[in-house]
Structure 1
Amino acid sequence: MNPIQNDSLKSTISAKANEISTDGSFNRQTNRFTTPFGNNPGELPVEANRYRLLWTPACPWAHRTVIVRSLLGLDQVISLGTASPLRPKIAQVDWEFSLDENGVDPVLGIQYMSEIYKKTDPEYSGRPTVPVIVDVTNHRVVNNDYFKLTNYLETVWKPFHKEHAPNLYPESLRADIDALNEVIFHDINNGVYKCGFALSQEAYEQAYDQLFARLDELEQRLSNQRFLFGDYITDSDIRFYATLVRFDVAYYSAFNTNRNLIKEFPNLWGYVRDLYQTTGFGDTTDFDSIKKHYHMSITIFVDKENVKILPKGPDLSGWTTPHGRERLSNQKEKFLIDTKE
C-alpha cells in the first residue's frame, strides 16, 4: 500500500471509529451541509432544474427522499443521479457511479461520491452520505440533511408540485408528525443500525429491545387505522416504510434484528404491502440492490472480511398479495389532497 492509500485508510478508520461510543454503541455522524431551502436570505433558492439529487436504492434515507420526489412530481424539476449499491473496493468508505456509462455521473462527471464532498469542502473528513443535493450550476453540495430534506420538498418546494399532489405534511398534523418522526428515526430507522453496528453485547441488546418495543407499539397502532395518522399517507409513513421494506430481506439477518420478521406482524405486514403497492413506493424499491448492499457490501470498518455471501431468500412473491387494509378506511384515496396549504 502506498503512503497516500495508507493515509486514506487511517482517515477512514478514524472517521468510522468516531461513530462508536466507548460503550460500543453506534452514534451516527451529524450532517455537514444543512442550509435549508427557502425564500429567506441565506437559504437555498428553490429553482427548477438547478439541483441534482444523488442516491443509491440501497439506502433508506435516500429512498424516502426519492419516494417524496416521485409522489410530488418533483422528478420533473430535480434530476437524479444513482450510485451503485456495492461499495467500491478502495481505501475509503464511498459510493461509486459504476452503473453509469464510463463509470461517472453523466451530469457531475464524478466517479465517487467523495469527490463532490471534497470539491465543496476540501477539509471534509466524514463519510460521503446519501441523499445529497448538489447545485449543478457550480457542482457544490448544498444539502445532505436527510432528516429534514423530505420536509423541504413537501413545503417550500410546493410551487413545483404536480397538479393534485398529495399533502404529505399537513399543517394541522405537523407537530404530531414531527414527534412521531423523532421516535421512528431513533428507535426504528437508526435503531436497526444500532443493532447491526453495536460493538458490545449490552449496546446491541438495548437497541434490539427498543426496536422491537416500538414495532410492537406501531403494530398495535395500525390495528385500527390504515396509516399512521389515519386514512391518508403522510411523511411519517414514508419514513417508516423505508425501514420496514428492508427488514426481512436485510436487517433481520445482516443486523441481527431477528426476534420477528415483519411478515410475522399481521398489521405491519399488511400495512407495508399496502404502501408497496402504491405508486411511488414499490416502483422505487429495488430489492436486488438492497440485498446486495446489506449482505455483500455494507461496512462499518474497512478491515472486515471481504468474502460475502448473497442469500437466495426470502421469497418476495407475497409483496403483491391482497393486504385487506381498505377495511380500516372510509376513504378511497390514500392521499390527502389539499391545495390550500
Structure 2
Amino acid sequence: MSYFARKLGFYVVALWAALTLNFAIPRLMPGNPVDILLAKLQQRGGTVSPETREAYALLLGGDDSQPLWSQYTNYLANLVQGDLGVSVSYYPATVSEVIMQSLPWTIVLVGVATIMAATLGVVLGALVGWRPGSWLDSLIPSTTLLAAVPYFWLALLLTYLLSRVLGWFPMQGGYDVTLTPGWDWEFISSAIHYGFLPALTIVLASIGGWLLGMRNMMVSTLSEDYILTAEAKGLTPRTILRTYASRNAVLPSVAGFAISLGFIVSGSVITEQVFSYPGIGSRLLGAVTNNDYALMQGVFLFITLGVLGANLVVDLLYGVIDPRTRARS
C-alpha cells in the first residue's frame, strides 16, 4: 500500500508543479491579452476607456494592478471551481466551451489513429521478431523511414495524391459544412470521410516506431531461458509465440501505448493545421498566435492531466502486474 501512496503523492506534486509552470510560462511571453482584445474592439468601431480596459482585465484574469502571487492564488482558486476564463481568440466564448467543442474531434481522430498504429505495429512487430531475417524483416527500414518523415510533408503528399489527383477524399475540414452536427449516420459518415486522411497520416508516421520496438523486444525475448524450456517441453510454435514470447515482449509497448494516449489530448498540431481539422491542436496554435493566455492555459491543463493520468495508470498497473516493482521501490 505504501508503494501506491508514494506514487499518488509524487503525481500530486507533479501536478502542482505543472500547474505552476502553466501559470508562469504564458505570462513570460511578450504581449498582453487585454490589449489584443481591446484592439479587436477598436477595429470593430468600439470605444475604449480606462473603465473598459479595467473591466476586460478583470474578465480575463489579467489585472495588472494585482501582484503576481495574488494572480496565482486566484488562478488556482478558479481551477478548483472549474473556471478557466474567457478566450481572447473566440471572445465572448469561455475557454471551457472552446475546449469542449474541439476536444472530442481530437480524441476521436488521434485516439483511433494511435490505437490502430499501436495494434498494427505490435502485431506485425511480433511476427517479424518471431522470424528475424525473413522478407517481412526487410520491410522495417521503409516503415522507419516514414517515421522520420515530417508530419506536414507526409500530410501534404497524401493530400496531393489522394485528394487532388485521385479525388477520393476532401482536402480540408472535419465534416461537410452543409450538415448539422449530430449523431445521425449522414453526419458520422461525413466525419469519417473527412478524417480518413489525417488519421492515415498519423498511422503511417507512427507505425514504424511501434513495429521496430516490438520486433527488437521479440528478438531479445526469444533468447531467454524460459523460451528454450518451452521448446524443450514440445509446445507448439503458436503457443510459444502467443503465451510466452509475445506476452513478455509487449510489456514495454503497453507502457508506451499508455503514455501515447496521454498525448492524445494535445492532438497533432501540424496535421490538424494542414487539414484545417477542428481539433484541439488548431485551437492551441491559434491561442499561441493571439497570445490567448486563458486558452493556452486551458489546453495545457488538459494535456497535463492526460499525460500525468496515463503515467499514473502505467505505474499502478506495473505495480499490480509485476510485484518485483513494488519490492524494489
Alignment TM class, shorter chain as reference: under 0.3
Q: Which has the higher contact order (CA 8 A, sep 6+)?
A: 2
* Structure index of larger Rg: 2
Q: Of Structure 1 and Structure 2, which has the larger fraction of its residues in helix?
A: 2
Per the normalisation by structure 2, the TM-score is: 0.27
Q: Of Structure 1 and Structure 2, which has the larger fraction of its residues in strand?
A: 1
